[in-house]
Amino acid sequence: MMSEIEMSRRGVLAGSAAAAALAAAPQVEAQPTKAPAPATMPVSLTVNGKRRDLNLDTRTTLLDALREHLKLTGTKKGCDHGQCGACTVIVNGERINSCLSLAVQHQGDEVKTIEGLGTPDKLHPMQAAFVRHDGYQCGYCTPGQICSAVAVLDEIKRGVPSHVQADLSARPQPTNIEMRERMSGNICRCGAYSNIAEAMAEVAGTASKEMGA
C-alpha cells in the first residue's frame, strides 16, 4: 500500500500538471450577450386635433411620448409618480396624469395638451385668466394646472342636465371650496393657490363674493 506521503506527492504532481495544461490551452474570450431589442408597437393618437402615428417601446409613458417623441414639452415631468399633477393632460375630455399611463393604452384616443388649448396670439380663456390673476410664479406646474382647471369646469358642467346648460344664467356656479378640492391633485410649490382659484372663478363666472367662501 502507498503511504500517505506518496499519495500526497502524487496529488500535488497531478494537480500541477493539470494547472500547466490549462494555462497552455488557448484562451477563448467570452462573447458579450446581446440584449434583446425592446418590444415595440404602433400607436395612433389624435394630439391637439392632429393624428400622430408612432412606433413606441411598449414601456413608453404617454408623458414621454408627448415630450420625447412629439416634442410637446409644454407638458412637464415633475415627480413622475402621479403625485404632483405637472403632467396633466386631457384625454377624451378627462384629465389624467400622463406619467402614469402607457402610450399604447391610448390607441385612437384624443389627447389635448397645453399647446392645444391656445396660442400666444389667441389664448384660451383659462390661460388669459391665469395671466390676469398671476396664477403662476415659477411656471413649472402651470401647464398641468391650466389643463386640470379647464377639465374641472367641464366636469362640473357635465354634471348639469343638457336642458339647463343651454341657459347660462341657470347653471349653478361651483364654489371656491369645490374648485379647490377638485384641483387638490395639482401641486404648486410656489403656493399660488388663491390666484389659481380666482382665475378659475372668473372663467366659471362665479360671483366675486364667492371668492371669500
- pTM: predicted TM-score of the whole model, two decimal places: 0.76
Q: Is residue 7 part of a domain?
A: no
Q: pLDDT, tens digit, for every residue of 126-156?
A: 999 999 999 999 999 999 999 999 999 999 8
Q: Is the residue at 31 inside a domain?
A: no
Average pLDDT over residues 166-180: 70
Q: 76 lies in a domain?
A: yes
Return the ∠ at Cα 114 (arms to 180 and 183), rounded to 5°: 10
Q: Considering the domain boundaries, does residue 106 fall inside one?
A: yes
CA 186/CA 10 separation, integer angstroms? 78
pLDDT (tens digit per residue) in 9-56: 666 555 666 566 656 666 666 677 777 778 999 999 999 999 999 999
Whether 8 is in a domain gets the answer: no
Residue 188: alpha-carbon gap to chain centroid: 16
CA 53 to CA 32: how far, in whole Å? 35
Strands (E), 29-147: 40-47, 50-57, 88-91, 94-97, 110-112
Give the number of other Cβ atoms within 10 Å of residue 172's Cβ. 9
8 A C-beta contact, residue 13 and residue 32:
no
**Which range marks the domain in which residue 80 is found?**
40-208
Which 3 state secondary structure label does DSSP give 154? helix
Phi, psi of 55 (to 5 degrees): -120, 110
β 40-47/50-57 pair status: antiparallel
Quickly list DSSP for 85-101.
Answer: -TTEEEETTEEEEGGGS
CA angle 161, 162, 166 (to 5 degrees): 120
Within-domain flag for 28: no
111 inside domain = yes
Residue 185 sits in a domain whose CATH number is: 1.10.150.120
Domain count, the chain: 1
Q: Mark 124-140 as b/e (b = at least 16 C-beta within 10 Å).
A: bebbebbeebebbeeeb
In a domain, 4, yes or no: no
* pLDDT of 209 higher than 50: no
